[in-house]
Chains A and B, each alone.
Chain A
Amino acid sequence: MEKQKCEGCNGKDPKMQEILETYKQDKSNLIQILNEVQEYYGYVPEKAQLAISEYLDIPMAEIYGVVTFYSRFTLKPKGKYHIAVCLGTACFVKGSEQVLERAKQRLGIDVGETTKDGKFSLEATRCIGACGLAPVFTVNDEVYGKATVKMMDEIIDKIMENPE
């Protein structure tokens, strides 16, 4: 899904408001709301955190504590192409580390970073449950199984060639 840009999303941002209003003003909904925000914007924008803080009456430090605790939440937008290499045991045993190394090398970024042009971001993920196809990586929602360094190269090349 194309991630939405969060421009000045705050309590008045209609989408943010819509997300909030589907939930009761109950502190236990924090993670549910954050999941939706992450899903919609591709990250958890600062102003969204403020809107949640006001809506659920939770201090910002606590929200920040929750956001930084769970690895699914990110504070910065991910790249247009988000590459996640699985480092689950099955994949690790089958050499996913080299595939990840290759991606790092090619993109010149470390895990958790986004390239300057915003095109790529890289993540080392926990088991995504496609162990039968190990090693695997994903680009956005697409899964690539039985991955090799060569496959990573080809996919990066393909995206890079794409003028858009």
Chain B
Amino acid sequence: MVNLTINGRNVEVEEGTTILEAAKKINIDIPTLCFLKDVNEIGDCRMCVVEVEGRRGFATSCIQKVEEGMVVKTNTPAVIEARRIVLDLILSNHDRECLTCTRNGTCELQKLAQEFYVDEIKYQGERNRHEIDDISPAIVRDFNKCILCRRCVATCKKVQGIGAIDCTERGFQSTVSTYKNKSLNDVNCTFCGQCIEACPVGALKEKDGTVAVWNALKDEDKYVVVQTAPAVRVALGEEFGMEIGTNVQGKMVSSLKQMGFDKVFDTNTGADFTIVEEGNEFLSRFQNSGTLPMITSCSPGWVRYMELNYPELIPNLSTCKSPHQMFGALIKSYYAEKMNIDPSKIFVVSVMPCIAKKFERTRDDMQGAGYDDVDSVITTRELARMIKQAHIDFVNLEDAEFDDPMGEATGAAAIFGTTGGVMEAALRTVQEKVTGNHFEKLEYEEIRGQKGIKRATLNMNGTEVKVVVASGLKNAQIIMNEIKEGKADYQFVEIMACPGGCVMGGGQPIRTSKERANIDIRAKRANALYTIDEKSTIRKSHENPVLKKIYEEYLGQPGGHKSHELLHTSYIEREKYKLDN
């Protein structure tokens, strides 16, 4: 243990603790900006500087480790002045259109400027100007707002192992840029959106989908159907100040109905279809010596990653569409027929925790019923924005139920939103099919939890199935290399692009770096999903009565002709970089 003094108070902490953490322990808050725990610990913004007795310059509290007998002062006039000048300088090179910024009110820089009462930019000067990249269907990059904290760079490179963006040029000209400042669309970006979650300001954001949705709602000709992904309901409340991990399904459905959607359906039902189709596909590969391992395909960031980096493994990818795409196709076919609505008039909106779904919607072979399966994808954040625009008193709303006939879902579908959930849901169905009898095991602890990679060998009445679950693309890369190099003999692989799965998707509410450092956001959101599962009466997808009915009435067999037409898709090899010549 190490003893030190911070602002005159003694504190004892473990060796290797940073000054920042030690101060936190005795409730002394040191402001940070570029710091993102375990991801970006580079100390370059200089907001967290403190005085250490006997040292010439300031110490960087977010990185520097405590030393025995250290005397630290975190809020001397000199330190405060230094921080104010740092803010002054950052703001002098920042697009200060705060009122019209997507992060107005949630911006970490704005908050610091408020706290330090920066009432005037004293060091005005030249500002870097850059074109906004809004070419991709998913992410908008506005470098005019970038403060070069590099949290996005570290996230993309270190967490996701992609490196689509990096620091380029030097000195005042430094920028965070793609290769040759191309659009994210033309480089190896997967649209996972984790960079957006990391950005303290408004330099990175999702491509807006709300305008299209409002327009559809305005259009009397349109029959507007909305569906919501499993992970949205356990995070949406945060946008309204509710506790992390609160399940707000009922209020969410209520607010959607108030906004005027014609039908409010649950993507969870779509997830049940995915499980049944994917389970069937797996069994068929497993029993007929098909290409194994089979890899899940419901995370579009992951799918794009694979197309960019491992095209040779495309045959391993399940041909199943992701739940909302399947569901969209069913709404425009089965549901349209049943309700006698012209499918061309149906406008399907997906509310997703995900940025890549915006891209997925635009993919080829996503028109199961002859129309785009989904017409607009908005994120959890965008839904919250719409609810606020509609001035709905979200917190005090009465609960409402999803609409029939596509509102019934199982517990298996709910856990789709967290890493390991798809695998667990699939296993509940597959095990039963393999063993041929009603299998009692429901909870697969071995693939739960927030570890990046979880491996397990499951014994199904003597038949062994080796599975692996990975979340975060850097972990995915490890698994893909194992497979590519023939070092692994998995049969079933679940991959989600975002670390922790959809609950931590790029479209979820953005939490500050301080919250990320101090709260286990992943676990709280995931636990809320497991609670939904636990409380469900039906916990296996194939037992969902809605599915049974639709297969009977319309689709026929899982994996049958109609299913393939509507619920399956294909993949292509993608060039990582579009070169100029």
Interface residues of A (CB under 8 A from B): 46-47, 49-50, 58-65, 68-69, 75
Contact = CB atoms under 8 A, between A and B. Distances in A.
Given A60-B179, A61-B178, A61-B179, A68 B581 contact: no
Contacts of A62: 157, 163, 166
Interface of B: 157, 162-170, 177-180, 187-188, 576-577, 579-581
Contacts of A75: 180
Nearest first, the 6 closest Cβ-Cβ pairs linking A and B are A59-B163, A60-B179, A61-B166, A65-B166, A65-B168, A68-B168
B312 to A, nearest CB: 15
B157 A46 contact: no
Given A60-B188, A61-B177, A61-B187, A68 B165 contact: no
B579 A64 contact: no
A60 B170 contact: no
A154 B553 CA distance: 90
B481 to A, nearest CB: 11
27 contacts: A47-B579, A47-B581, A50-B577, A50-B579, A59-B157, A59-B162, A59-B163, A59-B164, A59-B166, A59-B179, A59-B188, A60-B179, A60-B187, A60-B577, A61-B163, A61-B166, A61-B168, A61-B177, A61-B179, A62-B163, A62-B166, A65-B168, A68-B168, A68-B170, A69-B169, A69-B170, A75-B180
A49 B576 CA distance: 13
Contact of B164 (A46, A47, A61, A69): A61
A64 B180 contact: yes
The majority secondary structure among interface residues of chain B is: loop
A68 B164 contact: no
A75 B579 CA distance: 13
A14 B223 CA distance: 60
Secondary structure call for the A interface:
helix
Contacts of A58: 163
Contacts of B579: 46-47, 50
A53 to B, nearest CB: 8
A160 B162 CA distance: 49
Contacts of A49: 179
A46 B168 contact: no
A46 B580 CA distance: 8
Nearest to B180: A64
B191 to A, nearest CB: 15
Contacts of B178: 61
A61 B580 contact: no
Nearest to B178: A61
A68 B179 CA distance: 11
Contacts of B157: 59, 62
B189 to A, nearest CB: 9
Nearest to A67: B168
Contacts of A50: 577, 579
A64 B166 CA distance: 8
Contacts of A46: 180, 579-581
A68 B168 CA distance: 6
Nearest to B579: A46
Nearest to A10: B579
Which one of A47, A49, A59 has the highest number of Cβ atoms from chain B below 10 Å of its Cβ? A59
B165 to A, nearest CB: 6
A47 B577 CA distance: 11
B134 to A, nearest CB: 19
Contacts of B167: 65
A63 B166 CA distance: 9
A63 B168 CA distance: 9
Contacts of B170: 68-69
A91 to B, nearest CB: 21
Nearest to A58: B163
A64 B576 CA distance: 15
Given A46-B581, A64-B168, A65-B167, 11 more contacts: A50-B577, A50-B579, A61-B164, A61-B166, A61-B177, A61-B187, A64-B166, A64-B179, A65-B168, A68-B170, A75-B180
A42 B188 CA distance: 28
B52 to A, nearest CB: 31
A76 to B, nearest CB: 12
Nearest to B173: A68
B523 to A, nearest CB: 31
Contacts of B576: 60
Contacts of A61: 163-166, 168, 177-179, 187
Nearest to A8: B581
Contacts of B163: 58-59, 61-62
A58 to B, nearest CB: 8
A87 to B, nearest CB: 16
A38 to B, nearest CB: 17
Contacts of B179: 49, 59-61, 63-64
Contacts of A63: 179
A68 B163 CA distance: 16
Contacts of B188: 59-60
A59 B163 CA distance: 6
A50 B579 CA distance: 9
Nearest to B162: A59
A63 B580 CA distance: 16
B494 to A, nearest CB: 25
Nearest to A54: B576
Select the residue from B178, B180, B581 with max chain A CB neighbours within 10 A: B180
Nearest to B576: A60
B315 to A, nearest CB: 23
Nearest to B181: A64
B580 A64 contact: no
